[in-house]
Amino acid sequence: MIVNSILETIGHTPLLFVPLRGGEVSLYIKLEMFNPTGSMKDRMALSMIDSRPAKRNQHTDDIVESSSGNTASALAMISAVRKINFTALMDSHASPDKVLTVRAFGSKVQIVGGDDGLLATDMRDREAMRKSMEEGAYWTEQHNNPANARGYVGLAAELLEDLGPTITHFVCAIGTGGSLCGCARQLRMHIPELEVIGVEPVGSIIFGGQGGPYHQSGTGTPEGADVGMVIDYDVINSGRKVTDDMAFSVCHYLAKRHGLLVGGSTGGAIHEALSVARQAPIGSRIVTLACDSGTKYLDTIFDPEWLLSHGIQTVDVEEHFGDLIDNMPVAAHR
């Protein structure tokens, strides 16, 4: 395929078929790491930039976003193509690779946050700096921007093109809520009975409960931060929480048994997709999203020393989900 711009390669990502329970239930993982910056955020970043207000003054082509990494990388890439000046407010815990990626695209980075490395502290500091910065630039404001969710309409269309109205469950990590709610809303137009499950880290407060520290990057809402308006609780049937231990254990299992490197939020979503599959009726088709690539986290969740220093203990996923994945048949998509 010949394209005229890197932006034309956004979307149309592969769908990985994984038979479970001896083939009684099917799991489909949408591999969003095949987008140009390695995450699904390319979709929503393009939507937000395309939806920004018409030019009013000399600052319109200056944009700012508070992001832990993937959204910042996506906005930086698109800004390079569109000749826009972009500044990313990034957490102190953001990986050096993500900071360097934004700068490689020619965008600016301002690091905020404390020395404790906790997501809650950094996200609050990012918001404080965002509000204190001089007005003039366009704030894409991903947590409250309707264009965020609209960016995933195409993803839902791709799922329907591949699977039709046969999807029974949609399980997705929830951060800003754009991918979960944007997809679910579109899918429900064709599958009214679709079961939609949102997944957040233990310590996140989107679905209530006690707030606390967590290390699953780019997902959830920490205590003290506002839940954004993009989240539409009306399209979500249930919300679930996953510990860092279990989310990262699934990441290790997928890498070592399936050759699939994914980030922590994906590990949490797939953990819950497997939990759903355990109780799902025969013939169920469960869809989840691999939000980004694990290559972005080699020095954190795939580093034994980092795990040890943060008190994270991985478990044997094959033992935990043995009834689902033991003797998994090799099967073609059906």
Out of 102, 123, 145, pick the residue that ends a domain: 145
- Cα(150)–Cα(183) distance, integer angstroms: 9
Whether 236 shows a pLDDT value over 90: the answer reads yes
- Domain co-membership, 190 together with 319: yes
Whether 274 shows a pLDDT value over 90: the answer reads yes
Q: Which backbone phi and psi does 322 adopt, to 5 degrees?
A: -60, -35
Please name the amino acid found at residue 160: L
Q: 68 or 173: which carries more pLDDT confidence? A: 173
Residue 333 falls within a domain, yes or no?
no
- What is the Cβ-side half-sphere exposure of residue 293, based on CA atoms within 13 angstroms? 14
Q: How many other C-beta atoms lie within 10 A of the C-beta of residue 154? A: 18
- Domain co-membership, 155 together with 243: yes
When pLDDT is averaged across residues 99-116 and rounded to a whole number, the result is 86
- Cα(79)–Cα(12) distance, integer angstroms: 21
Alpha-carbon torsion (276, 43, 73, 37), positive or negative: positive
Per-residue model confidence (pLDDT) at position 216 = 93
Q: How confident is the model at residue 60 (pLDDT cuts 50, 70, 90)?
A: low
- Domain co-membership, 126 together with 169: no
When the pLDDT of each residue in the chain is averaged and rounded to a whole number, the result is: 90
CATH number of the domain at 46, please.
3.40.50.1100
% of the chain residues with pLDDT over 70? 89
When pLDDT is averaged across residues 106-127 and rounded to a whole number, the result is 66
Q: How confident is the model at residue 57 (pLDDT cuts 50, 70, 90)?
A: low
Residue 1 falls within a domain, yes or no?
no
- Domain co-membership, 84 together with 195: no
Is the pTM value of this prediction over 0.85? yes
Residue 330 falls within a domain, yes or no?
no
Out of 100, 129, 145, pick the residue that ends a domain: 145
- Cα(253)–Cα(259) distance, integer angstroms: 9
When pLDDT is averaged across residues 210-229 and rounded to a whole number, the result is 93
Per-residue model confidence (pLDDT) at position 153 = 98
Our CA angle for 294, 300, 302, nearest 5°, is 55
Site of tokens 């018409």:
54
- Domain co-membership, 157 together with 103: no
CA dihedral 245, 246, 251, 252 (to 10 degrees): 70
Q: How confident is the model at residue 107 (pLDDT cuts 50, 70, 90)?
A: very high
The residue segments making up the domain with residue 176 are: 6-39+147-325
- Cα(100)–Cα(211) distance, integer angstroms: 31
- Domain co-membership, 92 together with 195: no
Whether 56 shows a pLDDT value over 70: the answer reads no
When pLDDT is averaged across residues 205-219 and rounded to a whole number, the result is 94
Whether 233 shows a pLDDT value over 70: the answer reads yes
Residue 273 falls within a domain, yes or no?
yes
- Cα(34)–Cα(246) distance, integer angstroms: 25
Q: How confident is the model at residue 180 (pLDDT cuts 50, 70, 90)?
A: very high
Out of 103, 123, 145, pick the residue that ends a domain: 145
Helix axes 96-104, 70-82, angle to 10 degrees: 10
- Cα(64)–Cα(87) distance, integer angstroms: 5
Residue 331 falls within a domain, yes or no?
no
Per-residue model confidence (pLDDT) at position 54 = 72
Q: 117 or 225: which carries more pLDDT confidence? A: 225
If one counts the domains in the chain, the total is 2
